[in-house]
A = this chain, B = another copy of it.
Amino acid sequence: MATLKDVARLAGVSVKTVSNVVNGYEFVKPDNRRRVEEALATTGYRPNIGARNLRRGRTGSLALVLPELSIPYFGEMAGLVLEAAQEHEWNVLIEQTLGTRERERATLAALGPHMIDAAIVSPEALHSRDFDELDPGIPVVMLGEHSVDVPIDHVGIDNVRAARVATQHLIDLGRRRIAAIGAHPYRGTATQRLEGYRSALTAAGLPVRHDLIVQALNYHRRDGAEAMAHLLSLPEPPDAVFCFNDLLAIGALRAAAEHGTRVPQQVAVVGFDNNEESAYSMPSLTTIAPDKAAIAHSAVDLIRRRIKGGQELDPEDVQTPFSLEIRESTR
């Protein structure tokens, strides 16, 4: 592998002059520039990014820390973050935590400031305040989950409002026994979505019935199916279900079908995330559609801002838009 030294020798100039050509420095004699460029071409020189970064004190990489790539929401988000990061010539290193708090902490501790310039973290179990003790030494942007009391930049939609919109949609359909699937003891987004659900019911003068609120410790299709099966076996089953993500909703659709319950006639279903598959499920799924590209771009922008601005910048909380995508499951 050719280095600057090799090119310099071949072109008959100093290493620095080659470096200057490579970096587009203005004042190089045309004659030398030509010779250097020839030498670059014949050697097939490629800069050693590691050495360059060592010298420059940056790495050119971001870390994206998320629970699992096989979960459609995170797969889609990761793809968009990759694109957004590439616009600023960042490489992206992806780490999976599998949703365990221990691995979320370990990952952040391990990455440290040497491998990456910053991290975009989509925490599952980790609380913002864990970062306090951690101090990863690099800018961090949190996606989704959010704790106000910690000075960390954050991007996400207004979960409370989105959940209210979803629930209100079911109320507008005339449904009165509206269940919720996805309550969770300590997951922040779950708490917020539950709050939105509750507030919509209350505002409409409907009771909040605890037997219609089903916990889900995981947010996979299977959990949604189990929860729905449970709801349908109740003496008075619900006439609508708000699922805290699309996977739960997809599972719920299947459970309903297996139970012989028709969607949306007997039970209307709303999801959350607008996974690509939700437009093709049978029936297709009404869902809260966050603007994922906006989330990805905002996250990268926050990182750029923080890298430029430094620690003393006030932490920002960017709320990205969302919409309600109405499909067959509530039509």
Interface residues of A (CB under 8 A from B): 1, 46-51, 53-54, 59, 61, 68-72, 74-76, 78-80, 82-83, 91-96, 112-115, 137, 221, 225, 250-251, 253-254, 257, 276-277, 279-282, 284
Contacts and interface: CB of A to CB of B under 8 A. Distances in A.
Contacts of A251: 280
A114 B46 contact: yes
**Chain A facing B: main interface SS:** helix
B83 A79 contact: no
A47 to B, nearest CB: 7
Contact of A113 (B1, B51, B68): B1
B94 A250 contact: no
28 contacts: A1-B113, A1-B137, A46-B113, A46-B114, A48-B114, A49-B112, A50-B50, A50-B53, A50-B54, A50-B59, A51-B54, A68-B79, A70-B76, A72-B75, A75-B75, A79-B96, A82-B94, A82-B95, A82-B96, A91-B93, A91-B115, A93-B94, A221-B277, A225-B280, A254-B280, A254-B284, A277-B277, A282-B282
A254 B279 CA distance: 10
Given A115-B49, A276-B221, A75 B70 contact: yes
Nearest to A67: B79
A42 to B, nearest CB: 15
B282 A61 contact: no
Question: Chain copies in the assembly?
Answer: 2
Contacts of A69: 69, 75-76, 78-79, 82
Contacts of A279: 221
Nearest to A53: B50
Contacts of A94: 78, 82, 92-94
A114 B47 contact: yes
A82 B66 CA distance: 12
A143 B201 CA distance: 51
A272 to B, nearest CB: 16
A66 to B, nearest CB: 10
Nearest to A137: B1
A137 B2 CA distance: 11
A92 B91 contact: no
With a 10 A CB-CB cut-off, give which of A75, A115, A225, A279 has the most chain B CB atoms. A75
A89 B49 CA distance: 20
Contacts of A254: 280, 282, 284
B93 A61 contact: yes
A72 B70 CA distance: 7
